[in-house]
Chain A
Amino acid sequence: MKFIIQVNEGPYQHQTADSAYQFTRAALARGHEVLRVFFYHDGVNNGTRLTSPPQDDRNIVSRWSALAAEHELDLVICVAAAHRRGILDESEMKRLDKDAYNLAPGFRISGLGQLIEGVVLADRLVVFGD
């Protein structure tokens, strides 16, 4: 089965940020294909590399980065939602004349078209949100 995953909620606030990761990991382990994970609304906060949880807590962001490196996962952050919430990559930092960027490894920033395209190509859209 080909999946596209949509993540609508931020990390450490809502269980769905964890469930989305666990579902994706389980689907890959079962040999399914995950075409893309699309982070939308507050879900874009799952992609900041400045996330610094206490040592005895899970690191939701680096967990995604590791899964992406292992499986060549396509982790896409919605550009409009990201800009509103201060999630930038290096080129956007320069273009918007900001003094820092924070996109985590394995993530990329792109548009909503990536979600629509993924939905058209996938067998199932699975949404993690309220």
Chain B
Amino acid sequence: MKIKKCLYVNRRAPYGTCYALEAIDMVLIGSAFDQDISLLFIDDGLFQLKKGQDTADLEIKNHSPAYRAFEMYDVEKIYVSKEAMAARGLKRGDLLVDVELLSDSRIKELMDEHDVIFSF
């Protein structure tokens, strides 16, 4: 099967909607199809990567451990908006995984470099 460069753009907080969880499913399926996968976290999507998530009171599953498992599926390119980090007072040490910080102007180029953009 042809390999395409797929960028998964995560824009929303982890638990207010279904999208963060669905994105995880989609990334894992994409990796099973041997696609070239990159993840980008912008806006409130950054909170998906925050350490110390506790969903007990929400009565839904904490899906954040999945981000640490991505490495095993060869999903290693994880980008984060530098501006969004600063706006939310987050630092690298607050995040569950190693990320590459990109300026918003670089993010435009990143999107251009990909064949497919999945937006969540």
Contacts and interface: CB of A to CB of B under 8 A. Distances in A.
Interface of A: 40-41, 80-81, 111-113, 115-117, 119-121, 125, 127, 129
B1 interface: yes
A127 B26 CA distance: 15
Nearest to B115: A119
B116 interface: yes
Contact of B29 (A81, A116, A120, A127): A116
Interface in B1-48: 1-4, 6, 18-19, 22, 25-26, 29-30, 32-33, 35
- Chain B interface, >50% SS class: mixed
Nearest to B117: A125
6 contacts: A41-B19, A112-B25, A112-B29, A113-B33, A117-B33, A119-B4
A116 B30 contact: yes
A3 to B, nearest CB: 13
Nearest to B2: A120
B119 interface: yes
Given A119-B116, A120-B2, A129-B119, A40 B30 contact: no
A40 B22 contact: yes
Contacts of A112: 25-26, 29
A111 B33 CA distance: 13
